Amino acid sequence: MSPSLPPPHAAALHAEPLDAPRAQAIARAFLPARAWGNRYDYYYTRTKLSTDPLYPGVLEALRQDDWPLLDIGCGLGLLAHALRADGQRQPYLGLDIDRAKIPRARLAAERAGLRQVRFDTGDAAALGHGHRGSIAILDVMHYLPPAAQGALLGVAAAMMPDGARLVIRTPLAGDHVRGRTTRLVDRLAHVIGWMETLPRAYPSQEGLRAMLAAHGLQAQFRPLYGRTPFNNWLVVAQRGGPAQA
């Protein structure tokens, strides 16, 4: 197989970003209290939701899932807003190690009137140990070294009863145009200060599948490119058999 192209293991998932009115409706919760306040979160949220196919892809994966959801690395909590806008009502807990983002996530959720939504600062091992249900790990895996990736999946698997889902969005390793573009943009995100750390290890599909299998989870992998140039994939895993994304 030529190293210039991503391996065609699965058909790409056709998920369009949220349309502009829905993206803007969610983003309004991130407006500053005063007209002269900082609007960075508002513009970031509006742009993210209207250009990234992440949330429609994840919403589709969770639409038939009523388990409480733990969102590991939740950032500003956009998944919670997208879930409620989609009519999904499962209890939601968002965790993130970035202490600056959690208060902003809480404020936006309160402004939007989101129910059964909580946010906390910390990691899954420390604060999510009482969770029983489904788990989202979105754009987190590649910021961890391989050993920590496996440990995180082990923590997640231990929280999942039969029928619950683990939904992962991650760029996969690859020496092709999408892979190189992903690595470049991730480095730029660190330079401008949006991401505190640089990526540590981009998992391969085979390596990630093996890590999941080691914890009793089987997964379906599908490209989630949308109209972006990035090598992002949606992974949906369950105990005993692959979930249908």
- What count of residues does the chain have? 245
Q: Report the relative pairing of strands 92-96 and 217-223 from DSSP bridges.
A: unpaired
Rounded to the nearest 10 degrees, what angle do helices 40-51 and 78-85 cross at? Answer: 60
Residues 6+ apart with CB under 8 A from 123: 72, 95, 97
pLDDT confidence of residue 71: 97
SS3 44: helix
The mean predicted confidence, pLDDT, of the chain is: 88
DSSP string, 63-80: TT--S-EEEET-TTTHHH
Helices first, then strands: H and E counts in the chain: 9, 7
Q: Which domains does the chain have, with CATH numbers?
A: 20-239 (3.40.50.150)
Closest by CA to 100, choosing from 193, 191, 25, 200, is 193
Mean pLDDT of the 88-93 span: 97
Closest by CA to 116, choosing from 80, 142, 85, is 80
pLDDT at 244 over 60: no
Task: Categorize the per-residue pLDDT at 1 as very low, low, confident or very high, splitting at 50, 70 and 90.
Answer: very low
Return d(Cα 136, Cα 73) in angstroms, integer: 9
pLDDT per position as a tens digit, 209-227: 999 999 999 999 999 998 8
Query: Is the separation of the CB atoms in 62 and 69 below 8 Å?
Result: yes
pLDDT per position as a tens digit, 33-89: 888 889 999 999 999 999 999 999 999 999 989 999 999 999 999 999 999 999 999
pTM of the entire structure? 0.89
- Residues paired with 166 in a beta bridge: 135, 237
- Residues paired with 232 in a beta bridge: 171
pLDDT at 194 over 50: yes
Which has more confidence, 135 or 186?
135
Rounded to the nearest 10 degrees, what angle do helices 20-27 and 78-85 cross at? Answer: 120
